[in-house]
Structure formats: structure tokens, C-alpha cells
Amino acid sequence: MSLPEQPAPDQAWHISASSLTVRYGRRIAVDGLDLTFGAGVHGLLGPNGAGKTTLMRVLATASPATGGSLRILGRPSGDRHHLRAVRRRLGYLPQRFGYYARFTVREFVEYVAWLKEMPAADIPGAAQRVIERVQLGDRAGHRMRTLSGGMVQRVGVAQALVNDPEVLLLDEPTVGLDPEQRVHLRALLRDVGAQTCVIVSTHLVEDIAAACSDVAIIDEGRVAFRGSVDQLAAAGSREDSGDSAVERGYTALLRQHRTRVVAAR
């Protein structure tokens, strides 16, 4: 049932994509991306509609790529034979996190753990741990419908973490969180990222600066920049718009990328 212990050929990278393309009809949402991700917290930054969510969905095996190749945990993503084993090792918080309102927090997290085919004996303990990790220990017995937006979002993070995933995909995880909760989530992500490949999609530049070891900027389905947060901060100058060095770097890199794209045409 589980994957063999010896590493698959591309095990060095948790995720490796080359010429990855996703089309919806005539529209190209992801346009020939070459990206690799290993352990650590990786930020996926870009304007709205840049293709971030499409990329996250493909990485989460929610929808298929239409071109190029993608290996997740060493396995080709189109490989149905290994899909189930790969999915056991994924954690995913979609942009629109749906949940059963009648379930309690604990029931929902345990239910997702069951869906991820965790051994039944491990489920109660694992659920309790992640619920405490997102600071909802005192709400574990409350119905989901009674929670505030920020609490629901934290349950979303908890369900993604419950199976100790090797790849953790969080699409806009800080939406609805108050400043204190955001600070806590960033710390949690840094902690998880020590052994896990965490990919955080966001349009909030300050999240990236605080939580991520490196950044990919996506624009119109292409990689506009890939590098460390320090490189991102250093890319901007006083003339670029933004309230922080990272924001100025982001606008500068985006502008340079667009200039290159226009020139290439």
C-alpha cells in the first residue's frame, strides 16, 4: 500500500515541474513553468489571476496538468497507480475551504484524517495535536458552524497538517486571520517547513517576508522571479512603489518581467 522506502529518482525534490502547462479551453492559466521545491517554506506570489490557484490545484492533484511534466514526491503526477499513495502524503488547504457545518472541529479533522487513510489508532491523537497546534484546543468540541472566519481558516490548516504531510499546500491561508493569528501561523509554517515542503500561495507580500525561505513570483502563468526573500528585498529601489523593501522588490521584479515579455514579443 505504501510507497517503497528507497527514494524514487527525483526524490531530491519534493516537487519538480518542467514546462508545466494548464489550459482551460483556449485560456492558458499556467504557461510552461519550470519549478522545483524541496523542504522549506516557499512563497508563491503574484497578482490576482496570475495562475497561482491553478498551479496549487494541479500540485494538490485536484486537477490535471494539460502539458509538460510534474513529479510529486518522485512520482509522475499522471500516474494513477501511485496517486493514492502520493495523496496520503499531501496536505491541502484550498482557496475556498469547504467544511461540514454540523461536524465539531475534532470530528472534521478526524474525518479528514480518515479520508487520508491514516491508521484508525493514530487518528484521535493526531487530530488532537494539530487542533492544539492551531490554538483551537478549547474549541475542539464546538460545531464548525459556530466558529468565526479566522477559526474556520485555522481548522483548514489543521486538517491539512493532520497526516504530517511531506508536501503542504496552503492557498491564501492568512485570509480572515487577525494580526496575532497571522504571526502565529507564520511561526507554525516555519516550524513545519523544517522537514516539509510547504508552498504558500498569497497575494500578501508581508506574509512572504515573514514566513518564507524563498519566493516564486508568478505572472500570467509564468515565473517572473525565483529566489530568496533577501534577493527579493534587494531588487527594489526607492523609485519603486511599496511600503517595505519586499514590496518594492516585488513591484520592481514584476515590472522588469513584464518589460521582458513585451520585448520578447
Partner 1 sequence: MTAFRIELRRSSALLLAAATVVVGALLLWLLADEWTARWSGLAYLMRALLFALVPVALAAGAWQGGRDRRAGVTELFGTVARPYPQRLLPVALAMAAGVLVAYAALLAGGSVQVAPYASYAGGQWPVVVAVGAVALVAAAWLGMAVGRWVPSVLTPPTLLVFSFLGQMLSRLDNGVLLPVLATPSDLATVAPEFLAAQGVWFGGLAAAALLLVASATVWARALAAAVALAAAGVSSAVAPATAFVVSTDGATLVCADGEPRVCAPRIHAAVLPALTEPAREALRTLAPIPNAPTRVVATDLGWAPVAPQRTTDVLVVDLRFRLNATGRFEAAPAGLRTILLKGAGTQSCPDPAWGFERDVAADQAATGWVTGRPAGPATDEYGRLGERTLSELKALPRPEQLARLAAYRTAKVRCDRDPLTALTTGAPR
Q: Which of 10, 23, 103, 175 binds partner 1 (CB under 8 A)?
A: 103
Identity at 87, one-letter amino acid code = R
C-alpha span between 181 and 109 (Å, rounded): 20
Q: Which of 10, 40, 99, 175 binds partner 1 (CB under 8 A)?
A: 99
In the complex, minimum distance from the CB of residue 68 to partner 1, in angstroms, rounded to a whole number: 20
Establish if 37 lies at the interface with partner 1 (CB under 8 A).
no
Establish if 84 lies at the interface with partner 1 (CB under 8 A).
yes
Establish if 207 lies at the interface with partner 1 (CB under 8 A).
no
Establish if 96 lies at the interface with partner 1 (CB under 8 A).
yes
User: 102 is written with which cell numbers?
Assistant: 454540523
User: 192 is written with which cell numbers?
Assistant: 513545519
Establish if 24 lies at the interface with partner 1 (CB under 8 A).
no
C-alpha span between 265 and 254 (Å, rounded): 17
Phi/psi at 69 (5° precision): -130, 150
User: 258 is written with which cell numbers?
Assistant: 513584464
Establish if 70 lies at the interface with partner 1 (CB under 8 A).
no
Q: Which of 101, 183, 187, 194 binds partner 1 (CB under 8 A)?
A: 101
Residue 37 and residue 13 in contact, taking contact as beta carbons nearer than 8 Å: yes
Please state, as a whole number, how many other Cβ atoms lie within 10 Å of the Cβ of residue 92. 22
Establish if 13 lies at the interface with partner 1 (CB under 8 A).
no
Establish if 220 lies at the interface with partner 1 (CB under 8 A).
no
Burial of 98 (0-12, 13-18, 19+ CB in 10 A): exposed
Cβ distance to partner 1 smaller for residue 102 or 260: 102
Establish if 142 lies at the interface with partner 1 (CB under 8 A).
no
Q: Which of 12, 115, 183, 194 binds partner 1 (CB under 8 A)?
A: 115
Establish if 71 lies at the interface with partner 1 (CB under 8 A).
no
C-alpha span between 56 and 61 (Å, rounded): 9
Q: Which of 92, 105, 170, 210 binds partner 1 (CB under 8 A)?
A: 92
Establish if 117 lies at the interface with partner 1 (CB under 8 A).
yes
Rounded to 10 degrees, the C-alpha dihedral 112/172/226/12 comes to -10
Q: Which of 28, 70, 113, 254 binds partner 1 (CB under 8 A)?
A: 113
